[in-house]
Structure 1
Amino acid sequence: MAKINWMDITRENVIKAIEIFHAENTEYPSSKSTFLIYNGKKLPAKHIRGMAYKVAYGKEISKNDFGGGMETMRFFERLGFEIFYTGKSEHIDKKSVIKQKQSKQTIGAVQAQLIMNAKQASADKIKIPAKAVIEQKNALQLLLNRIFNGDIVCEKTFPWLKAPDIIEGDYENLYKSISEYRGDKAFAKRNVQLRCDFVCESEKLIIEYDERQHFSQARKVSLLSYPDISVYFDRQLWIQACKDINAKDGQPVNRDEVRAYYDSIRDIESSKQGYKLVRIMHGQTDFEADGAEESLKKLLNIKLEVAINTKIQSNDGLKIGLYLQTNELKNGADFANAIEIVKKSDFDIFVLPELSYCSFHSLLTNADICIKEDINNIFKACINLSEEIGKAVIVSSVDVYGTIFSVFSNALANETETANALYIKHTMTECSALELEEYREISKSMFEPILYKGYRIGMTICYDCNHSLFSRMYGIKGVDVIINSTGGNVVYDKWYKYNKVRAIENACYNFVTMGGDGTVANPHSYVYGFNAIGKELKPYNIMKKTTALNLPGSIYVYDTSLDDGCAAKDKSHNQSKTRNKNYQLEIPVGGINELLSQSKRLTDGIYVYKVKDKNVVFCLVEGNDILKPEKVLPLLYAKELTEISNKRYIVVNKHKYIEDEIFSNKLSVVLKVRSMENFCAVIIESDNINECYQCGKNRTAQVLQSENGKFGIDLDRTTGPEAIWKNKEGMKASWRENFEWLIHEMDKNL
């Protein structure tokens, strides 16, 4: 479907459309839910909107290509028209709703604030001074000797700290990425002995002082290509600095690549040898200033905390309280009882499910989050609740127009922490964040991590966890925790897989709580918690003093300090394999190249193979790139596919050899989820493991059983993005435009 631009349609276009409507219609159509009020008359709003499109662009638009109701109402309000809306839902009073406000008001305070924050953030680029490097390094050395009682050696070498003789293992992807940056392959010299700026052997501590020239595009490429190691500096900050500074050193011509490669070797080999390598950015602290020693101690304390997959965590851990608030508990008495227990309990963040109940429930459901006064009142009420319980809180509700949102509030926030944050639901909703006119500005701040007790936190709502993009927008900014509030009544296995993978691909903790109906025998409402490598964590129940999980009305507390940092095998690792009775394409096991050789290459990583009237799109993803949404989504939504009709999608993931542990702990579940979330088939090929997955009809994962050495693929279940972004309950085809824009933003930010 062609992209629709409503922003260029003017008030004059609408008035002209009304005139044409009056000339062509002798009587008004029967009553509908949304009316345009003009000169005292009620006109069919969606019909007039379509006519205004024709006036503006000179061509017809199908009514199936855009929505009525709230979407159309907001279109006219932006242009200053009066709307009469009679849409009904369980969240809105049965009376008709009439809204009259100027277009400047509909943007709303929170949107305006988010836009302002986004613009401010874009202006605050990281800058590193080029001067006083020697003076600062000398001052740093003196301070380190003072702190570590003289146990500091400068320019130290280690027998193990050399450039590798053979490019293999951890260095394969690194070498490939750096060499592809500008085509240079001479940077990777063999067996070069490397030195370290400062070493404290008693602490197994290495400190590298990174000057301006270290922050180049080549270094950014290398940082993005690291293997699964622990580092003791803020990798996302270093990546951002590389983007902002973009240092260039042309003597010799590949100096940037060489420096980036050597820095990477230091990080990788130090991790292997059990050393903590801390990087300090020149200009990060003035080591000649008063209080420099305390600043350095603070810096080292932060950097020396236990790191999990490049994320720095507090030794104290974070305690997340997940309230399994089912429908029968959504009343004043039960909420008050829960709050009394929360007040007396030791945890950090109190999380309520999607469409939760709280003491100011009516304020939330009668508000419009696009109005300044309303959102400020919501923030104030949430802050008051946070202050009452002495904890941060996440409340999820719906406004008067069906827009579902979550609010984080922390009444105890210090000057470096987040006091209030807002997230708006994107999918399976009446009104999506994706249809907001200012979405492209709002999203820049909506996905800014919440800062709380040294942690970076992101929020999502319900079905948004079924799409890797929304969580990944936080992941690329280095979040430590993602918290999802779900409505309940879900398929346990689906939510388990989705949220386990959200943890793995973003290398962060992932927690989920739910609502639902607690009066039935099986409410299908659950709490989940996963560590940064996908292991399920065990909570404790502060309400009912039992180890039993998923009891309605319970508050389950997850304590990250109890995480052992280990991985865990995918529960569905040994899932039974099945054959498709109906299939239209056979692919030889381990023989995808046979079909690719007969396919048309569109661009890097994308091939098209004809099967009768269907165009099968093969998207090639190399190695562990399958763990990264930014390597998968741009292929599935590539602009080169726009003009191709009747598409079917198969993701092909190629490896040389796969370790059993990597497959059972990570790849097994990630591959299943890639098929589920993208409604496609996924094939993995390697010397030792060859499997094929399909999305089932109920969006679960099927593992295919081969027959006669071939996988029989049902192409009717591989319609990909076209199956997701279409007009159906809770979704609209028009939302795809901003979804694709967000994919581009994710890729650009990396």
Structure 2
Amino acid sequence: MNILLVQPYNNYKYDYQKLYDQVLKIIEKKLVDLVVFPENFIDRVSENEAWEIVEGLAEFLDTPVICGISFADGTERALYVNWAPAEGETVDSVFIKHSSAEKLVFELEKDELEDPELYEPILLNGQRIQVYICHDMFFPLVTEKLEQEGLDILINLTGGNVKMSKWCNVLKGRSIELDTTVLCTMANRPDMKQPSDRISFKSGERLKANYKLGNGEKTHAFSLFSTDDPVIEEVTVEHLYSDKQYTQFTVGLDEDADCTIDLDKWEIYSSKLLDAGEEETSLHLTKNGESIHVHVANYEELFDRTYFYKQSKAEEGHHLVIYLSYGPINEEEAIALMKLRAIENRIGCIVVADNLFVAAKTNRYKDIQLFKATDNKIGFDLQFMQGINGLFQNSASSKQGIPVRFKEQYLSLLKVPENTK
């Protein structure tokens, strides 16, 4: 499938028809199966107006279209229209944002929330396409729900410029755990100082556009990606490791660490701190008045985005997951997934294998800190490791993330044990 990502330039001051004409010229020269516009491409319109706009755009381009639109009710939505579907293909569909919006999907009327089509994929060219909007990609249960409903291609619509390393950490990780193509387009707003781009990863590999027009600096830009004939971009990945050596909580292979990894017995224990629990794969420790919950898992669990949600854990405290491998592992794959788990779960992560002993956690803004073991030991500062509780905003009026009042509805996207709530 050939997917054209559109990156409009300016702050809602587009000459829309000129932009549409540019897209049409590309379609006339290149095979395009789907055109994707970013989040909030159309601002503050009613539901009827939104559908009229996207239906008219799909008709003008004579090509299926996904378009991000801000509704007058405060929701952020992605509308899809295909005027010439083959038998069994989707004619129209809508995806609604779960986070960082004036009104979230959780606030819809009950009949809308219970609509079985709410998470159904778009069917096009034999592929199941799922869409989520901007920050929704940071929440693992949204991705889990979309995959449960059927997913061959995942597309993210982002509304503006971003911290590119953070976006790529998530997009790359998602492409590995899903083992598929993940794409993202975003608006380019000159009043925002961070970069904007059109991005695609396939199973962890960064893709080059098969065709592109414009560099996005002061003009609209377009990238055409092929899922059938992907072009791998040769990228030299250099991970930046922190030189910090924290002592608030340490994990190592020797008993001088607060938590010791026994590679012979394939278990963790503490010879220094009292374990308040009696679980085979978890420790519940206290150090200097701080509660630390440590879980140990096989390396294969790193590929399971729901693993952390299935563990027994207390509401309060700091959380750390240690993934152990019996043999050598793919270092790049492991680090990419470890970054994703630290970001999406607000936890510390450690991977220990024959060829690797590294850790990751995030700062306040979900930027990654990576650590290499020093003398077979890694330390954490116990900041921004609150686990699931750290995902939610305490302010009921917050327009960032998911307010804590919607915690139960978010968790209901996956059936989880009672003790995780």
Is TM more than 0.5 here? yes
Matched, 1:586 2:250: yes
Matched, 1:649 2:314: no
Query: How far off is 1:478 after superposition?
Result: 4.1
Matched, 1:632 2:294: no
Q: Give 4+ residue runs of structure 1 displaced > 6 Å after superposition.
A: 566-570
Q: Which amino acid aligns with 1:693?
A: A
Of the structure 1 ranges 478-487 and 342-351, higher mean CA displacement relative to structure 2 is found in 342-351
1:515 to 178, 187, 190: 187
Query: How far off is 1:460 after superposition?
Result: 0.5
Q: Output aligned runs, 1:332-351, within 5 Å.
A: 332-345=16-29, 346-351=31-36
CA distance in 2, matches of 1:396, 1:506: 23
Q: Which amino acid aligns with 1:742?
A: L
- Cα deviations across residues 500-539 of structure 1 (Å, max 9, x unaligned)? 111111122100000131477x6511111111x1111111
Q: Output aligned runs, 1:207-222, within 5 Å.
A: none
TM-score by length of 2: 0.85
Query: How far off is 1:326 after superposition?
Result: 2.6
Query: How far off is 1:325 after superposition?
Result: 1.0
CA distance in 2, matches of 1:420, 1:458: 13
CA distance in 2, matches of 1:549, 1:678: 33
Matched, 1:459 2:125: no
Instruction: Pick closer, same or farther for the CA change 1:444–1:562 going to 2, 3 Å.
Output: same
CA distance in 2, matches of 1:444, 1:614: 44
CA distance in 2, matches of 1:440, 1:739: 16
1:663 to 305, 328, 331: 331
CA distance in 2, matches of 1:512, 1:550: 18
- Cα deviations across residues 209-235 of structure 1 (Å, max 9, x unaligned)? xxxxxxxxxxxxxxxxxxxxxxxxxxx
CA distance in 1, matches of 2:234, 2:384: 30
Q: Which amino acid aligns with 2:297?
A: V
Matched, 1:681 2:322: no
Query: How far off is 1:393 after superposition?
Result: 0.3
- Cα deviations across residues 125-170 of structure 1 (Å, max 9, x unaligned)? xxxxxxxxxxxxxxxxxxxxxxxxxxxxxxxxxxxxxxxxxxxxxx
2:84 maps to what in 1? 412
Query: How far off is 1:619 after superposition?
Result: 2.8
Instruction: Pick closer, same or farther for the CA change 1:334–1:536 going to 2, 3 Å.
Output: same
Instruction: Pick closer, same or farther for the CA change 1:324–1:634 going to 2, 3 Å.
Output: same
2:45 to 346, 366, 371: 366
Q: Which amino acid aligns with 1:445?
A: E
Q: Is the CA contact (8 Å cut-off) linking 1:440 and 1:738 kept in structure 2?
A: no
Q: Is the CA contact (8 Å cut-off) linking 1:634 and 1:743 kept in structure 2?
A: no
Query: How far off is 1:721 after superposition?
Result: 2.0
1:484 maps to what in 2? 156
CA distance in 1, matches of 2:117, 2:337: 28
Q: Indicate the structure whose relative CO is greater, using CA pairs within 8 Å and at least 6 residues apart.
A: 2
Instruction: Pick closer, same or farther for the CA change 1:613–1:729 going to 2, 3 Å.
Output: farther
Instruction: Pick closer, same or farther for the CA change 1:651–1:559 going to 2, 3 Å.
Output: same
Query: How far off is 1:600 after superposition?
Result: 3.7
Give the secondary-structure state (helix, strand or coil) at the position aligned to 2:161: coil
1:57 maps to what in 2? none
Give the secondary-structure state (helix, strand or coil) at the position aligned to 2:414: helix
Q: Is the CA contact (8 Å cut-off) linking 2:130 and 2:154 kept in structure 1?
A: yes
1:40 maps to what in 2? none
CA distance in 2, matches of 1:390, 1:616: 57
Q: Output aligned runs, 1:63-102, within 5 Å.
A: none
CA distance in 1, matches of 2:71, 2:194: 25
Q: Is the CA contact (8 Å cut-off) linking 1:354 and 1:397 kept in structure 2?
A: yes
Query: How far off is 1:553 after superposition?
Result: 0.3
1:356 maps to what in 2? 41
Query: How far off is 1:577 after superposition?
Result: 3.2
- Cα deviations across residues 67-114 of structure 1 (Å, max 9, x unaligned)? xxxxxxxxxxxxxxxxxxxxxxxxxxxxxxxxxxxxxxxxxxxxxxxx
2:408 maps to what in 1? 737
Q: Output aligned runs, 1:4-23, within 5 Å.
A: none
Query: How far off is 1:684 after superposition?
Result: 1.4
Q: Percent identity between the aligned chains?
A: 19
Q: Is the CA contact (8 Å cut-off) linking 1:386 and 1:411 kept in structure 2?
A: yes
Q: Is the CA contact (8 Å cut-off) linking 2:68 and 2:78 kept in structure 1?
A: yes
CA distance in 2, matches of 1:568, 1:611: 45
Q: Is the CA contact (8 Å cut-off) linking 2:284 and 2:293 kept in structure 1?
A: yes
Q: Is the CA contact (8 Å cut-off) linking 1:379 and 1:420 kept in structure 2?
A: no
Q: Output aligned runs, 1:183-202, within 5 Å.
A: none
1:325 maps to what in 2? 8
Matched, 1:450 2:122: yes
Matched, 1:723 2:406: no
1:559 maps to what in 2? 226
Give the secondary-structure state (helix, strand or coil) at the position aligned to 2:74: coil
CA distance in 1, matches of 2:136, 2:236: 22
Q: Which amino acid aligns with 1:735?
A: F
CA distance in 2, matches of 1:691, 1:443: 44
1:431 to 103, 108, 124: 103
Q: Is the CA contact (8 Å cut-off) linking 1:458 and 1:483 kept in structure 2?
A: yes
Q: Which amino acid aligns with 2:331?
A: F
Of the structure 1 ranges 612-621 and 588-597, higher mean CA displacement relative to structure 2 is found in 588-597
1:87 maps to what in 2? none
CA distance in 1, matches of 2:343, 2:125: 35
CA distance in 1, matches of 2:210, 2:40: 24
CA distance in 2, matches of 1:507, 1:658: 20
Query: How far off is 1:379 after superposition?
Result: 3.4
Q: Output aligned runs, 1:37-76, within 5 Å.
A: none
Higher strand share: 2
CA distance in 1, matches of 2:315, 2:288: 12
Residue correspondences, number? 399
CA distance in 2, matches of 1:725, 1:339: 39
CA distance in 2, matches of 1:481, 1:530: 11
CA distance in 2, matches of 1:603, 1:678: 21
Q: Is the CA contact (8 Å cut-off) linking 1:324 and 1:550 kept in structure 2?
A: no
CA distance in 2, matches of 1:439, 1:648: 38
Instruction: Pick closer, same or farther for the CA change 1:736–1:417 going to 2, 3 Å.
Output: same
CA distance in 1, matches of 2:358, 2:319: 16
CA distance in 2, matches of 1:603, 1:441: 37
CA distance in 1, matches of 2:212, 2:375: 55
Of the structure 1 ranges 688-697 and 421-430, higher mean CA displacement relative to structure 2 is found in 688-697
The unaligned stretches of length 5 or more in structure 1 are 1-317
1:259 maps to what in 2? none
1:401 maps to what in 2? 73
CA distance in 2, matches of 1:624, 1:412: 42
1:612 maps to what in 2? 288
Q: Is the CA contact (8 Å cut-off) linking 2:140 and 2:306 kept in structure 1?
A: no
Q: Is the CA contact (8 Å cut-off) linking 2:134 and 2:157 kept in structure 1?
A: yes
Instruction: Pick closer, same or farther for the CA change 1:349–1:745 going to 2, 3 Å.
Output: farther
Give the secondary-structure state (helix, strand or coil) at the position aligned to 2:144: helix
1:392 maps to what in 2? 64
CA distance in 1, matches of 2:318, 2:115: 30
Give the secondary-structure state (helix, strand or coil) at the position aligned to 2:169: helix
Query: How far off is 1:543 after superposition?
Result: 3.5
- Cα deviations across residues 225-277 of structure 1 (Å, max 9, x unaligned)? xxxxxxxxxxxxxxxxxxxxxxxxxxxxxxxxxxxxxxxxxxxxxxxxxxxxx
Instruction: Pick closer, same or farther for the CA change 1:578–1:589 going to 2, 3 Å.
Output: farther
2:257 maps to what in 1? none
Instruction: Pick closer, same or farther for the CA change 1:416–1:622 going to 2, 3 Å.
Output: same
1:473 maps to what in 2? 145
Q: Which amino acid aligns with 1:529?
A: S
